Chain A
Amino acid sequence: MTIKLGVPSKGRLMDKTFDWFGARGVSLARTGSDREYAGAVEGVDGVELVLLSAGEIPRELAAGRIHLGVTGTDLIREKLPLWEQQLEEIKPLGFGKADLILAVPNCWIDVDTLDDLDAAASAFRDTHGFRLRVATKYHRLVREYLQENGVADYQLVDSQGATEGVVKNETAEAVADITSTGETLRANHLKILGDGPILKSQATLWRSRVAASENSDRETLKALLAKLD
């Protein structure tokens, strides 16, 4: 058997992950054509590279179909409520840093805190007859956060991409999204609420607690982790 390592299959996250492992003597590479999701591992024996969408890595780890995986803290927390039982956090990788934040239009000069948001939501519902809409793809995290902070009269609407544009398009009044520099938010006339991020995220190496492994795999895992340390 081999140890399966799940890595994001494209973009900067893949490149940075390859660099990070490379700097520690484990070379990861995509093989075949550009469109083929196959990979190769050199520098350690018995490890197989599985290229996956970053969003699928939490599920694959939780199901034990991969032993190790690289993906953001945000996706793990959103998709796996019981993540601590299913996964072990091996190492934050120091890149892919981003915050899950709540943002509202700049022109809402009266709203800077959750307290303000709650009051604005109450008035909004009275005026418009429906709850203030917050667009996000992080439904669970955002709902828990707002519930914990006692914000009422809002609703979440799903937005899987271009979330910053929803306010201008009038499909939502506020957004909860991941941002690293805040530039896209600013370009879309949005500001971040001052209560601090909902979650700080970065690319992290995770180990599945449920993936089946033989004795030889445990040796392989030990050797690999020793190299990465």
Chain B
Amino acid sequence: MPQKARIRARAALLRAVFEKAGASPVETSLLQPAEVLLDLYGEDIRARAYVTSDALFGEQMLRPDFTVPVVQMHMDHGAEPARYTYSGEVFRRQEQDLSKPNEYTQVGYEVFDRENPSAADAEVFALIQKALGTQELRAATGDIGILKAAVAGLETTDARKAALMRHIWRPRRFRALLDRFSGRSPVPTTRSALLALDAPEDHDFVQIGLRSRAEVSARIAVLREDAKTPPIAGSQVELIEAILNVRQKLPFALEHLRDIAVDMPAITEAVFCLKDRIEALETRGVDVASLEFEASYGRTSMEYYDGFVFGFYADGRPDLPPIATGGRYDALTRVLGQGREIPAVGGVIRPGLLLELEGAL
């Protein structure tokens, strides 16, 4: 059987597992309006997706994943609660590595359910683990919600918290901002020079472009305010670092985070969510004692995940990407829902990688 046919056959089997679990099969278009994806991911998506265009529909992208169109479809006319499954090809632009495929098959399972998010997290994880079969795969898990709660609970201004929150998925800039706000890195000389002026807005530069004088003044006001704000305490930065460094088996990670929550009560709620999820996973028969938890897992390249995140890896094959990935994306439903929102969690399996591991390709 040729490669593509094998992958399709395996995808059909996986989808059957998901259908049996109660999911309705759905289809999405290969061509997706670029505007929605650009709005969500920004310019970075252009490096990852193929863009094409015509004079009538404008820019279109070859489906880089299913989650966005499935969420849109559900938000437009889905009944609640809902479980969906799909299988098909996604397309990823490759510029750095010729060995990475630019087109591959994904089979997914997505749950939109307002009741009991922990149970839904566990349902998706356990179902995907079961669908992956007997393969020896290592599961990695994380929870972006804990870091978000920690940032929200920092003792500092809302402006600083918002700036940190905006860069949770860009670890380098997050770090730079945290260093700046805590006084660990010096204020740039250009900024102190600007703030030293009594009336910086009195200048002779020609006013050009859309960004108005008022917008510049507003930012200067923000910078002034920020300069007056005391630095974030070193102890708080250390707690954020302690959270980011949590990397243990799940039960130990929970204990560790509980300890941190004593000094940072803001994460208590999020840590309770983790505890609920662990219990829900156990109820589903998942061996939580051997499950890894990494608090910073999923901070790169998965920008729409904002709670539970997971991935399944083939340990002997560091050359392969994760065989399956998934997570919770409540915020995405809010962005795409135009005023409505619903807790949602899902995951995808790459049947081509499964076959490769089994030596069948």
A positions within 8 Å CB-CB of B: 81-82, 105-110, 112-113, 115-116, 118-120, 122-124, 127-128, 131-132, 139-140, 143-144, 146-156, 167-168, 170, 173, 189, 194
Query: Interface code B23-46, partner A: CB below 8 Å = 1, 0 otherwise?
Result: 000000000000000100011101
Residues in A with CB closer than 8 Å to B180 are 115
Specify the chain B residue showing the minimal Cβ separation from A188: B208
Count, A-B residue pairs, CB within 8 A: 112
B contact patch SS = helix
Contact digits for B80-118, partner A, Cβ 8 Å, 1 yes 0 no: 000000000000000110100000000000000000000
Mark out the residues of chain B between 322 and 357 whose CB falls within 8 Å of any chain A CB in the assembled complex: none
Chain B residues, CB < 8 A from A107 = 203, 205-209, 213, 216
Q: How far is the CA of A139 from the CA of B43 in the complex (A)?
A: 10
Chain A residue contacts of B174, Cβ below 8 A: 150
Q: Contacting B209 at CB < 8 Å: which of A105, A140, A156, A194?
A: A105
Interface residue ranges, B against A (CB under 8 Å): 38, 42-44, 46-47, 95-96, 98, 163, 166-167, 170, 172-174, 176, 180, 188, 190-191, 194, 200-201, 203, 205-211, 213, 215-216, 218-220, 222-223
Q: When the two chains form the complex, which single residue of A115, A123, A144 contacts B188, counting CB atoms closer than 8 Å?
A: A115
User: Is B223 within 8 A of A150, CB to CB?
Assistant: no
User: Nearest chain A CB to B168's CB is how many angstroms away?
Assistant: 11
- Chain B contacts of A132 at CB under 8 A? 211
Q: A residues within 8 A CB of B96?
A: 81-82
- Provide the bound-state CA to CA distance between A148 and B172, in Å: 8
Q: Check A120 against B208 for contact (C-beta < 8 Å).
A: no
Task: Return A113 CB to nearest CB of chain B, in Å.
Answer: 6
Q: Is the CB of B223 within 8 A of A109?
A: no
Contact flag A155-B43 (CB < 8 Å), given A107-B206, A107-B207, A115-B176: yes
Query: Are A189 and B205 neighbours in the complex by a CB distance under 8 Å?
Result: yes
Closest residue of chain B to A146 (Cβ to Cβ) is B43
**Known interface pairs A107-B207, A120-B211, A122-B166. Does A156 touch B43 (Cβ–Cβ under 8 Å)?**
yes
Kindly list the 8 A-B residue pairs having the minimum CB-CB distance in the complex, ordered from nearest.
Answer: A150-B173, A112-B190, A150-B170, A106-B205, A107-B205, A81-B95, A167-B209, A110-B219
CA distance A110 to B206 in the complex (A): 15
Contact A131 B206 (CB under 8 A): no
Contact A152 B213 (CB under 8 A): no
A97 to chain B, nearest CB (A): 26
**A118 to B174, alpha carbons, bound, how many Å?**
12
Residue of B43, B173, B222 touching A118 (CB-CB under 8 A): B173
Q: How far is the CA of A143 from the CA of B95 in the complex (A)?
A: 13
Q: Which residues of A contact B38 (CB under 8 A)?
A: 155
Residue pair B176, A167 in contact (C-beta under 8 Å): no
Residues of B within 8 A of A108 (CB): 211, 216
Let me know if B170 and A173 touch, CB within 8 A: no
Q: Are A140 and B211 in contact (CB under 8 A)?
A: no
Nearest CB in chain B: distance from A20 CB, A? 32
A19 to B166, CA, bound (A): 53
Question: A150 touching B209 by the CB < 8 A rule?
Answer: no
| CB <8 Å contact, B46 and A123 | no
Cβ–Cβ contact A173 & B210, under 8 A: yes
Judge whether A152 and B42 touch: CB under 8 Å: yes
Would A152 and B170 count as touching, CB distance under 8 A? yes
A164 to chain B minimum Cβ distance, whole angstroms, is 11
Q: Report chain A residues within 8 Å CB of B163.
A: 119, 122
A151 to chain B, nearest CB (A): 8
Residue contact B166 to A124, C-beta cutoff 8 Å: no
Q: Contact between B188 and A105 (Cβ–Cβ < 8 Å)? A: no
Question: A106 to nearest B CB, angstroms?
Answer: 4
**Distance (Å) between the CB of A80 and the closest chain B CB?**
10
For A128, what are the chain B residues with a Cβ–Cβ distance below 8 Å?
210
List the A side residues contacting B176 at CB < 8 Å.
115, 150
- Contact flag A168-B173 (CB < 8 Å), given A81-B95, A110-B220, A146-B43: no
Nearest chain B residue, comparing its CB with the CB of A170: B210
Q: Are B200 and A147 in contact, with the CB atoms below 8 A?
A: no
Distance of B13 from chain A, by nearest CB (Å): 37
Q: What is the minimal beta-carbon distance from A121 to any residue of chain B, in angstroms?
A: 10
- Across the two chains, which residue of chain A brings its CB closest to B42? A152
CA distance A124 to B215 in the complex (A): 8
- Interface pairs (11), CB distance under 8 Å: A105-B209, A106-B205, A108-B216, A109-B194, A140-B95, A143-B43, A143-B44, A143-B47, A150-B172, A155-B43, A189-B208
